[in-house]
Amino acid sequence: MTKGRIRARIRRSNLYTFSCLRPNVKESAQAGSLPQGPGFSRIVQCNQPILHRKRPFRYPYNHISTTKYNVITYLPKALFEQFRRAANIYFLLAAILSLTSISPFSAVSMIAPLSIVVGLTMAKEAIEDWNRFIQDRKVNRRKVSVHNEGGVFSYKAWQDIRVGDVVKVEKDHFFPADLLLLSSSYEDGICYVETMNLDGETNLKVKRALEVTLPLDDDSTFKHFSGIIKCEDPNPSLYTFVGNLEYESQIHPLDPSQILLRDSKLRNTPYVYGVVIFTGHDTKVMQNSTVCPSKRSTVERKMDHIIYILFTVLILISVISSLGFAVKTTYATPDQWYLLPLDYRNKLYNPTRPMLSGLFHLVTALILYGYLIPISLYVSLEFVKFLQANFINRDIYLYDEESGTCAEARTSNLNEELGMVDTILSDKTGTLTCNQMDFLKCSIAGTAYGTRRSEVEIAAAKQMAMDLEDQNSDGSSFHRMENSNRTIGTSEIELETVITSKDGKDYNTAIKGFSFEDNRLMNGSWLHEPNLEQIVLFFRILSVCHTAIPELNEDSGAVTYEAESPDEGALLVAAREFGFEFCKRTQSSVFVHERYPSYGQPIEREYKILNLLDFTSKRKRMSVIVRDEDGQILLLCKGADSIIFDRLAKDGTTYLDATTRHLNEYGDAGLRTLALAYKKIEESECNAWNDEFQKAKSSIEGNREAMLERVSDMMEKDLILVGATAVEDKLQDGVPQCIDKIAQAGLKIWVLTGDKMETAINIGFSCSLLRQGMKQICISTMNVEAGSQDSKKTLKQNILMQISNACQLVKLEKDPNAAFALIIDGKALAYVLEEDLKHQFLKLAVDCASVICCRVSPKQKALVTRLVKEGTGKTTLAIGDGANDVGMIQEADIGVGISGAEGMQAVMASDFSIAQFRFLERLLLVHGHWCYKRIAQMICYFFYKNITFGLTLLYFEAFAGFSGQSVYDDWYSLSFNVILTSLPVISLGVFEQDVSSDFPALYQQGPKNLFFNWQRIFGWMSNGLYSSLIIFFVNIIIFYDQAYRAGGQTADMAVVGTVMFTSIIWTVNIQIALTMSHFTWIQHVLVFGSIITWYFFLFLYGSLPPTISGYAHQLLVECLAPSPIYWATTLLVTVACTLPYFAHISFQRSFHPLDHHIIQEIKYYKKDVEDEFMWSRERSKARQRTKFGFTARVEATMRQLRARLQKKQSNVAFHRTFRS
């Protein structure tokens, strides 16, 4: 416990009547048998771990690994990853063939580039996997106290724990393995566990030890401890456990309430003892994990298809070249004897065997034309993606100051995939929410209290005011209204603006969980309100009807609450601020300090707890039966309004209409609501009911829960309505705005949570995934009886009927503004994920604006993600923060982990990590959008320049008798991709930007794949074909028989090749300059510097001795530079090659502009500054029409406001007409 805190040692099991009933020994003996056969064969010898290292057990160590590779598998798996790329397979074959005599290049020139490309990529993979290994090692080396011998405990690393070990886990530490709880620091053997990493819930769970093991509460008591656990085999089910413990000649049944799962955390309990049942990958959390997959982006997979096409073209032109060579060898070689080598009858030039010569030439051509397949593309891509990942890592806007955490691209392979996401699958707790609730409003006895506006109300008012202002500036009919009408409109809007309190004061309260503002209730002013008795009763229900535990800090004197839910904690804080402070709980009573302004000291009132009826997802309510100090027995109840209203007495509906109206208003404002009610109970009635209740509690039959529910219903009726509460769920900073931007970008969001349905729905409202007016489709098994033998078939038929009815409802909807939300629980999800239902479910889900899956296990999260990914064929992104999210993070195309305070499992399994959900907006809409466009344009340009260069070799082949002679010097060819064109294309992939991040709808260019579709790819290829034709034939025509020097000399092959190469360098660099939208000095230096580098290279190369430079010796200085035709030809060819593209982009921008073209033009002419109204209009156009998100919610509210405004204006106009 933290310093200065006091906690009473009470038997808290009495507070949990539904789930914590302890069976007696006789019942234990009867229930102790296990099912026989496979699945129930595990035997654990307690406190004897050495036995489990030998046969027949051989249980695994507690070591875990989330890496792709290990020392043995790295080389084969990494090589497989590299050579499943089509281009690498081709270059591997070419490198092998380069060892033969038929290769036009040396073996070193072919093997070295491939080795560098593959080696660099494998090294990058090794570094990324090493980082995962380091994270795993940190987890495996955590320490925990383990029993050795003789009652002595010592610390060991997690990875050294074995099955059967007895461990001692201390407060705020994670459990190292799946344990059987033996005892705790509390006398009744209970402990509090946080399972956020497993199911996403931050609410504390109560676990309790068997009564027979409670004496094992000290280190020395384990000196002679032994026992045998027989239980189920390892499985992924988090919520079930079947087994028994043989101890002291007794058999005691075990259930999930005694099991402590790995990666859950011990909270509010000094220490516990437990025995290890499952270790390592046998633990339930690891059973829910999936194998770390090898992910490839959509662009990279499509790039393989382009490689296949180019490889087909390569084979085709090689075959044509070989046939030409065979024909030339047959008919021309005998006459051209002076061209034959000395050994002219060798296999390569044998006129008597032309087909064999052609076959050998085919291999030569395949290697010669290999420049069509850009091997440097992969190296350039890896380098560009590495730099893009560094930009993500260093982005100041992705830095979280509170935690000091930066974003991290844990793999750079998927940068461009961030710009193609169609569906986001998100965890809830710790991802969307920080589980902080604020009490904002309430309704008591039909009167609404609370003047502070919610975020939804504030945004609606601001947007409505902006719309009216736009209408005024646009000269609309509203602008031409008479002054009286304008006054009405203004006052109507003022009703919706932010008025923090009636006296005009703005209270910026610093009280966590309490944002209420209303002078009528604060500071004891409620004493002067009408219905005082109802107000006092309302506050007493808040302070008494709960299961929280108070904690007193001795230093500050403040009381904090450990509540089962954050809602409950916020209600207790509200009660305290109103003067009714819950201060103490004993085994049988609750104590409340009631403060009245007329008394100097608070009055302590005791409420004796007679019974507690817990909240469950099926009941949707909780009740407590108490006896006050006057001896009056009261039932105090709070729950969902629909449930409470159905249980009201005829004389208990006095405030029903007013309360219903207030609840609707609170719902419109995005608040979570509960209704409060009570009833008085006679002593005899209470005693009779309690007898029935105790019988139901003591039942060991299978229908115990149903019996408890039936008895509870007998008491929870004829209630009297008191009022309602409205709590605002505190999401993580920026979550609603982030979801709104994501919605405007056209993405879909699915929420997969372990929470119960009601909590998930409330969160949906809070983050605007749900809103008032949205039609909810709930699919569950809640109301289906499962007692028959064919219950599974009955359940499936019922779920199928629900899905079919929902599909029909969606299909028949005519309202264009209508939106549907699909909500499904975990049990129903288990059925719809089966093969015969999943496609119908997916079809319905795709038609809905929002999808929320509740009570979902980690395995189901992964299965849902796989269904969406495979069923839609679209790119999916999964985001979460706990170990329960690892499966879906690994299953999705992109996995994003949130590096929160609750472990790093999600981050270790992710592709990208961020500190808060709100950073997802910038990660996708900025970095994702830019990376996609950069990579797409870069790849298209790469193929363009290689086709432009490679096809000129083919044309020259035809002119050179298909001899295999290259028109370019070997050093020209080697420098083309490595030096002269590599840096400009890298600058395109790293620095290119179209527009800023203010236009989310532009993101749809990625999911629609506008910049890497086949039309654009073939367009670039056609451009390369056109450029190659112009470059070759224009140069050939000009230099064929034209003197180019003052002495009248004509061009030889070296001159023609150099002039053609110069034309290629100018053309491809000017082409990339036309492609870029965003220029900095870096792009200018790299693009035009590459052109200058070519001349510098030619000068230096020509200055070398002729034995090295060959025909290029002094070629620039003596031949080309002094020749005007050289410079004129370069200019002519460059203009001719780039003119069609320039005409295309000019026509497109003028007549068929894309969205970013319009925005670029507005920015360029500074219209965004000169005409703000036009700029605001264009920005609003650059948003998708949404049916969920904050904007959709505001628009729905605005439609209501406009309707009210128009109605009021019509009434005024009618009255004026009537008077006249």
| Active-site annotation, residues | 427
Look up residue 575 and give its DSSP letter.
H
**DSSP assignments along 672-695, one per residue:** EEEEEEEEEE-HHHHHHHHHHHHH
Would you list the DSSP string of 975-986? HIIIIITHHHHH
Q: Which two tokens stand for residue 518?
A: 């209303």
H or E element that contains 422: strand 421-426
- Tell me if 1063 sits within 8 A of 1138, measured CB to CB: no
Distance, in Å, from the CA atom of 753 to the CA atom of 751, rounded to the nearest integer, reads: 6
Give dist(CA 1027, CA 1035) in Å, integer: 12
Distance between CA 819 and CA 817 in Å, rounded? Answer: 6
Six-digit token string for 502 = 């009636």
Residue 466 exposure: Cα atoms within 13 Å on the Cβ side: 14
β-pair partners for 443: 448, 724
Give the single-character DSSP code of 925: I
User: Alpha-carbon distance 1109 to 416, whole Å?
Assistant: 42
Query: What tokens appear for 726 in the block?
Result: 């409205």
What is the C-alpha to C-alpha distance for residues 950 and 368, in angstroms, rounded to an integer? 9
The helix (H) or strand (E) run that includes residue 46 is strand 42-46
Show the CA angle centred on residue 208, arms to residues 203 and 210, nearest 5°. 165
C-alpha to C-alpha distance for 552 and 172, rounded to whole angstroms: 19
CA-angle at 1132, arms to 1129 and 1134, nearest 5°: 105
d(CA 705, CA 688): 20
Q: Single out the residue of 63, 19, 59 nearest to residue 231, CA to CA.
A: 59
Q: Over the Cα atoms of the chain, what is R_g?
A: 38
The token pair at 330 is: 């047959």
CB 372 within 8 A of CB 340: no
CA atoms within 13 A on the CB side of 887: 24
CA gap 509, 801 in Å, rounded: 50
CB atoms within 10 A of CB 1045: 16
| HSE of 491, CA atoms in CB hemisphere, 13 A | 8
Q: Count other C-beta atoms under 10 Å from residue 94's C-beta.
A: 21
What residues have CB less than 8 Å from 665, skipping those under 6 apart?
A: 448
Long-range contact set of residues 530-533: C-beta below 8 Å, sequence gap at least 24: 530/445, 530/447, 531/444, 531/445, 531/446, 531/447
CA atoms within 13 A on the CB side of 383: 17
Contact criterion met (CB below 8 Å) for 862 and 290: yes
Residues in the chain: 1220
Residue type, 633: I
Ramachandran assignment for 964, one of left (phi > 0), alpha (psi -120 to 50 degrees), beta (any other): left
Q: What would the DSSP string read from start to end of 111-129?
A: HHHHHHHHHHHHHHHHHHH
Is 1028:951 a contact under the CB 8 Å cutoff? yes
DSSP 8-state secondary structure symbol assigned to residue 523: G
